[in-house]
Chains A and B, each alone.
Chain A
């Protein structure tokens, strides 16, 4: 007789069904795992053996064979511990056979406790699509799994509790109320009112977040670029349920959540020493990079020119498409990467070019070389460019407190609602992601605006992409005002965000 249990493997963001088969026979004692296990899976033998003894059962001194089917895909990670342990106990007749309508995943510790695994949501989604009714996971993963309502999710603290549940159905179905869960967590330590002055930059950031536009801040050191960027998180609109599922899934696969739901938009600020793989994603078993971890949130790249050329150039496609496809010899996976890029840089190597209070010591040549680190195509893909000027010391004391993040966030949520309503039949929901076909329809200009744009195009020699970006930004500015049509004042403000960098 062979005992079979269902479990799952993770491939990219998706999960695949894996059958765990256990056979016990007489003969030379052995405990073998076959079916392309990696080291973490092979080591599961030691964990399983000790966990079974710690849970008060005798580990059978017999010939044990575990097969992970299908045998031709690589199995990695520690989530097979639980099904293997249960299978051995069931095959040895110590516990009743678990139902075939249940999916098991969990890592065991030596004392029999269940530790959280990565990719919980993907596993629950697999159960939903394959119509497997129950999912048994470690308690810490239960919340993320239970967000998939169609599946009965049970979370347990240790192996013994799972066995009790199999024997006499003692478990309680885990449920989660997303609205409640989200409201618990919206509390930010950093607020926009901490930043004095800088109204123009705050306005630009509001437009960027409101419409999902990428933004580059250029300014001397100490002007407040990083300070402003770090507060962007506090004005991000609340996440909807479907967005939270998508984001949590990525973070869960990357092993960052330890089983919690991500209910606040992500803010990722990798250091400039990050490798291309770290930023974009990749590896033998492809894992999401920073751009995917920033999905539906903000990717903040401080000291933008310090990032390696390869990393920055690799941003082109994700900036354009909102996702990234990673091809490796073994597999090709697609990770979503729909983020708002907030980048900050100094105008020149010494940092003080254009600064009213300091003298710049760079030669024109040095400045050119510095700016060349960010190529034209990347600059072109960043919708908004804005200059951040330092606030004078006297002013810092006198300036009144600015608006609080909460007020700004309310406005952003309103403007996002307008967009969601307008694009309810489209695949995107922000102005920044509008595709070209739709552009003409939603960004129609009046005669006056049309003339203004044509004149600006001639004067500044904008690219076709710039033209579209200007239209999208104007759309957001008009939406912020609640205007149906794009007026010349909206357009001219949008133009402002494209010409800052043309000074030299």
Chain B
């Protein structure tokens, strides 16, 4: 299995995981210029831009710890692009989230990338 296929597989797992928790996925692999967001999810008044991160084992740290500032900035830029085009979401509370899959373990945290 090549890397791209593998990524797809875990994005699918993440997607199911979010849906089970009441989120509606409105975009997958949203691309703005060269910047990409894995998932865009909506629940109540909240619009969440989600990055999916996979690690085989927690031996070297969990998925959360491997989202670096460059990745965060990319997601931020894509998010701003999305908001500029889809004006209907303007008044939503915009958050950024990470679905972290470490081996069998799966976890979703959301909050601010930047204060």
List the interface of chain A (C-beta within 8 A of B). Answer: 26-32, 45, 60-63
Contact = CB atoms under 8 A, between A and B. Distances in A.
A30 B93 contact: no
Contacts of A62: 93
A462 B95 CA distance: 80
B93 A61 contact: yes
Contacts of B46: 61
Contact of A26 (B80, B93, B96, B111): B93
Given A27-B91, A63-B93, 10 more contacts: A26-B45, A26-B90, A26-B93, A28-B83, A29-B95, A29-B112, A31-B112, A32-B115, A61-B95, A61-B111
B114 interface: yes
17 contacts: A26-B45, A26-B90, A26-B92, A27-B90, A27-B91, A27-B93, A29-B112, A30-B112, A30-B114, A31-B112, A31-B115, A45-B115, A61-B93, A61-B110, A61-B111, A61-B112, A62-B93
Interface string B58-102: 000000000000000000000110010000001111111000000
A32 B112 CA distance: 12
A27 B115 contact: no
Interface of B: 45-46, 79-80, 83, 90-96, 110-112, 114-115
A30 B115 contact: yes
Contacts of B83: 28
Nearest to B45: A26
B112 A27 contact: no
A61 B112 CA distance: 8
**Main SS of the interface on chain B?**
mixed
Nearest to A42: B115
Contacts of B115: 30-32, 45
Contacts of A28: 79-80, 83, 94
A307 B96 CA distance: 59
B97 to A, nearest CB: 10
Nearest to A33: B115
B2 to A, nearest CB: 36
Contacts of A60: 93
Contacts of B96: 29
B13 to A, nearest CB: 24
Contact of A27 (B94, B110, B111, B114): B94
Nearest to A59: B111
Nearest to B48: A61
Contacts of A45: 115
B80 to A, nearest CB: 8
Contacts of A29: 93-96, 111-112
B31 to A, nearest CB: 20
Contacts of A32: 115
A26 B96 CA distance: 14
A42 to B, nearest CB: 9
A26 B110 contact: no
Nearest to A60: B93
Nearest to B96: A29
Closest 8 CB pairs of A and B: A26-B91, A62-B93, A28-B94, A61-B95, A29-B112, A29-B95, A31-B115, A26-B93
Nearest to B93: A62
Nearest to A24: B93
A63 B111 CA distance: 11
Nearest to A45: B115
Nearest to A31: B115
A396 B111 CA distance: 74
A23 to B, nearest CB: 14
A26 B45 CA distance: 9
A62 B112 CA distance: 9
A276 B8 CA distance: 67
